[in-house]
Structure 1
Amino acid sequence: MSTVSDARQSLRPSPANDTAPAGDQAPLPHGVRPLLIKAKGGLGNRMLAGVTGVILAQLGGRTPVIDWRDGLYLPEGTNLYPLLFRDPVRIDPACYDGSTCVAPALWSGRLAEQPVSIIARHFPDRHSSPFIYRRLSIPLAGPDPLARVGVFWSYLPKLARLRGRLHADRRFDGRSLDAITQDMLHRYFTPNDRVRQTVSRLFAGRHRPIIGVHIRFTDRKVPLAKIERALAKLRERSPASDIFLATDSAEAQAYIASRFKRVFTIDKQLAEDGAALHYSGTQMGDPLREAENAVIDMFALAECDWLIHSRHSTFSVAASLIGGIPAKRQIDVDRLNPKVVVKRWFQALA
């Protein structure tokens, strides 16, 4: 197995809008009606849910302001989003922290807080409810609220609940949800230069086709035996192919590397004990670099010709959409798992 290192220096927090000096924020435009898009969960969840927020903002005539100050990788209060991606809006969500004309009203004067703390205060027994996001967000249906500041948050994407409004809007009518999502991912989640350059170097000189494999094996475990069988069959069809492996687990990486040749990965921190790495309390030598590594993994998967994964993971779903990998070149190892299929259907429509 080969591990690719980009030999970067430790990264310091600075916005990823590489055309402007670090910390140079555009002045707050007069008359802006923002929709603050809050986040919870891993990278795939917040990106795909963020797309729902961006589209909801556009449907309501608001400006989408992505607010990832919830403590993913970095300490709570630091907005991770503009450190990883080019922010086309470039409005600091902290500008609105003291706002009181807010919808939903429970965010009034508390916009520096994040969904977890709001739920703990108002709905302490509903942290796991699939419907709780409705209490923390402006409505997906009906007219946009009059409040100057709106808030959207959902743990998962909710575009399926916007179908009616999308069909009624000429910007979206006639387009599939996947096509709309892909477009918004490209507009609002273009990685910073360091990530893009690393992905480019990772694939330089490699022969096609390249098989991408995503294995989540910490807080949720993809069945390794199913991954192995799917990979063996695909490798038999294309014996000269290289394999790019993206995983959060040292155990899963060792498992695949011991069974297949020409597996390449990036140099990153891996979980040894099954615990998810992406929360700020986790011991990481360079949290921002590890956040970038997650983005590199996702966009490297997007560059692959084939993708073996479980669609139960939003991380690999986001990668497939970013890369435009057609369904016929994806092998979903959980496609026949009724529990996973029903859960995904319910979550999309809840």
Structure 2
Amino acid sequence: MFGQDSSMRQRVLLIKGKGGLGNRILSAVCGLIYADLAGRTPIIDWRDGSYAPLGDNAYPLLFDTPIVQTCAATDTAACPVSPAIWAGHLRCSTQEMIDNFMPEAHSSPKAYRFFCINLETLDVPEDIAVYWSYLPKFRRLSKHMYRDPRFSGRPLAGIIKEYLDRYFTPNDRVQGEVIRLSTQMGADAIGVHIRYTDRKIPLKAVLSTLRKRLKQAPDTPIFLATDNAKVQQTMKIDFANLYHIQKYLPANGERLHWPATDIAKIQEAENAMIDMWVLSRCVRLIYSRQSTFSQTSAYLGKMHSKQLDDVDRYSSKVLLKKLIQYYA
């Protein structure tokens, strides 16, 4: 497959994962679009230990995928690789590569530029190209998408939804729980996503917005997806018609999905997916634009702006951060 003459060989885009579930899903969608634009076969590699035991690829365990090739097929490939620094290290995670070659750059755009192919060109000659990004880079693909009839003239949200449906269909356990919960709550539930561990959204604004909505319809069911045990406990006391799933929440408020955490990783990854997909079925979503998790829910649910209450929509700090990330 690799290293053969040009008429026989297959060109691959190896899509690595880093960060939380929303980050890696939307970033993978960006990579999958690039693969289609460039005529490459995509392989998604989530062996970094965040959502499955280290070395196990979480992606095919969590999703029913049309991708048939395994990332292990590229591990020992003796062929040209881009970026060249990945040659001989294709088994490594992005986290390991940054640790080994650029440890000071975990939070810097330098790492993305150094370890990811240049998305602004499609004619990368190497057999294997490696893509990763902490956040999706759709802006860098806009020129190519404009010129391609498969994408030209289509709204980005619709394209993202198409790729989510094609490559990120949850496994049977997740789908079953999503259907059960959505049926139990009914069609008019308000979804509330509160990230409150290593990163915190404005909790008071979330609660204020929720109470405002409940004044219009006091008996509306609420689905809460949070990573913080104290937030969940408090909201169960304060709001009567509140639903949430049973999942592990660290008592110390630390981040849950991380290579070093000692948890049932597949089960907790599935729980995160249940949260994400149930939120997507709610009639309204209260969230922060800081969170790619809830952004992914909005894409999955094809939510209109009128269904979204973004508690950070007027935050100059968040808007500036998003602008910097957009152009980084």
Q: TM-score range by the shorter chain?
A: over 0.9
Q: Is the 8 A contact 1:309 1:332 kept in 2?
A: yes
Matched to 1:191, the amino acid is P
- C-alpha distance in structure 1 between counterparts of 2:159 and 2:326, whole Å: 16
Alignment of 1:196 with 2:175, yes or no, is yes
Matched to 1:261, the amino acid is A
> Identical aligned pairs, as a percentage?
46
- C-alpha distance in structure 1 between counterparts of 2:75 and 2:214, whole Å: 53
1:307 to 285, 302, 322: 285
What are the residue-to-residue correspondences of 1:20-59 with 2, within 5 Å?
31-59=9-37
Matched to 1:269, the amino acid is Y
- The one-character-per-residue Cα deviations of 1:234-285 (angstroms, maximum 9, x if unpaired) are 111122210000011111112222221100001111121121111242232x
- C-alpha distance in structure 1 between counterparts of 2:321 and 2:24, whole Å: 18
Alignment of 1:95 with 2:67, yes or no, is no
Alignment of 1:244 with 2:233, yes or no, is no
Alignment correspondent of 1:343: 321
Alignment correspondent of 1:321: 299
Matched to 1:103, the amino acid is S
**SS of structure 1 residue aligned to 2:193:** strand
Matched to 1:203, the amino acid is S
Alignment coverage as a number of residue pairs: 320
Alignment correspondent of 2:4: none
- C-alpha distance in structure 2 between counterparts of 1:62 and 1:280, whole Å: 29
- C-alpha distance in structure 1 between counterparts of 2:143 and 2:124, whole Å: 18
Q: Is the 8 A contact 2:194 2:226 kept in 1?
A: yes
Alignment correspondent of 1:253: 232
Please report the TM-score for the alignment, with normalisation by the length of structure 1: 0.89
Please report the TM-score for the alignment, with normalisation by the length of structure 2: 0.94
Q: Is the 8 A contact 2:116 2:132 kept in 1?
A: yes
Unaligned runs of 5+ in 1: 1-29
**SS of structure 2 residue aligned to 1:236:** helix
1:65 to 26, 39, 43: 43
Q: Is the 8 A contact 2:37 2:122 kept in 1?
A: no
2:155 to 176, 183, 187: 176
- C-alpha distance in structure 1 between counterparts of 2:46 and 2:198, whole Å: 21
Root mean square deviation, CA, Å: 1.3
1:333 to 305, 311, 325: 311
- C-alpha distance in structure 2 between counterparts of 1:275 and 1:229, whole Å: 25
- The one-character-per-residue Cα deviations of 1:146-197 (angstroms, maximum 9, x if unpaired) are 1111110100000012111110100000012212111111111110111101
Alignment correspondent of 1:16: none
**SS of structure 1 residue aligned to 2:192:** strand
**SS of structure 2 residue aligned to 1:150:** strand
Alignment of 1:274 with 2:253, yes or no, is yes
- The one-character-per-residue Cα deviations of 1:293-313 (angstroms, maximum 9, x if unpaired) are 000000010010000010100
Matched to 1:39, the amino acid is G
Higher mean C-alpha displacement, 313-322 vs 246-255? 246-255
Q: CA deviation at 1:205?
A: 4.2
- C-alpha distance in structure 2 between counterparts of 1:185 and 1:111, whole Å: 25
Q: CA deviation at 1:69?
A: 0.6
- C-alpha distance in structure 1 between counterparts of 2:91 and 2:148, whole Å: 33
